[in-house]
Amino acid sequence: MAMSIANNQLVSLTFDGLCKDVACDTVIVTGATYGAPNTAQAMACKDATFTVGGSSLGIITSLSLSVDRQLQPRYVTNGTTTLRPDSRNIKVNGTLEIWLDTGAGTMIDAFLGETEKTLGAAFVDPAGNSLAFALPALKFTSGMPDVKGDTSVPVSLNYEAYYDATATSQLTITRTPHA
């Protein structure tokens, strides 16, 4: 899974998969009942709120998040499909871009001190449905300011999320439909 959140853009979420014996068909399954199509509007960065360490942070300009299950196919010489794929540890990482401004010091100190932080992103669509992502234990692994002249300075911080025993995951996603 890869998510991209950027200023003044729609939130992008893509999924990849490793499949075995998949046959795609365009014919309606006999006897199946299909629900109404989803008409909810897309979520945009303007609908987002971000928290770091539990405090609201309004200086984030973009966020990327990648979840990699590290699935590896296991082909054999006498078959055309893979056996059950190997699954290694799940890797959750990404990049966070912030303005070097009031509030950025906390994150830069966390990067320099190699201390864990929590990161949250919540979105609400125009219909009132919400989607919240939480990374309960992450560390910033590298950072680079982008200085171009006499304007504001954006800083890109790469991060990696770690397993949190309380949340029992590196990432939680909570969907709340509009009441």
Helices (H), 13-153: 104-113
pLDDT at 56: 83
Domain boundaries, the chain: 44-69+86-179
Among residues 78, 148, 159, the alpha carbon closest in space to that of 111 is found at 159
pLDDT at 88: 62
Mean pLDDT of 37-56: 77
pTM of the predicted structure, to 2 decimals: 0.74
Phi/psi region, residue 21 (left: phi>0; alpha: psi -120 to 50; beta: rest), is left
Give the architecture (CATH level 2) of 44-69+86-179.
Roll (2.30)
pLDDT category at 65 given cuts 50, 70, 90 is very high
pLDDT at 61: 84
